[in-house]
Amino acid sequence: MQDIAALQELLDPLFPGLMGVRLVSLAPERVAAEMRVRPDLCTTGGILHGGATMAFADTLGAVGTFLNLTSGKRTTTTDSSTKFIAGARVDSTVTAESVALHRGRTTMVWQTTIRNAEGKLCAVATQTQLVLDAAG
């Protein structure tokens, strides 16, 4: 099992780090994180941008898959579907939980729920991660 601090260190110099994604808990079947809604992640009106929401969810599904990879494997997202339900305001914090729906040898499917500071459901994303050989 990956140490949460070590995995956060891997994410920090990458796009998730740029967005401010902070891992909260890790398990092979569940990943949780939070992200501050900054003005540069918003649309007009100070609401979290849909693309930022999707990238947040994609990160959690990828992290979940990463936790389940065997040596010599890597992953990439093959498809993702997001349903937007409510907004999250600037200067608040959104939380996300991603749970494994399927953890197979060649694909993994994760469903991520994102909630605003009031606990209201903002989005549900379902994604498929392909498991590939690291070399190639």
At 31-61, the pLDDT tens digits run 999 999 999 999 999 999 999 999 999 999 9
Percent over 90 (pLDDT), the chain: 97
Instruction: Give mean pLDDT, residues 120-129.
Output: 98
pLDDT at 5: 97
Distance in Å from the first CA to the final CA of the chain: 25
- Whether 131 and 75 have beta carbons less than 8 Å apart is answered as yes
1 pLDDT higher than 60? no
pTM of the model: 0.96
pLDDT at 2: 72
What's the whole-number average pLDDT of the chain? 97
119 pLDDT higher than 70? yes
Q: Quick one: residue 46, left, alpha or beta (phi over 0 = left, psi -120 to 50 = alpha)? A: left
> What is the full DSSP assignment across 27-83?
ETTEEEEEEE--GGGB-TTSBB-HHHHHHHHHHHHHHHHHHHPPTTEEEEEEEEEEE
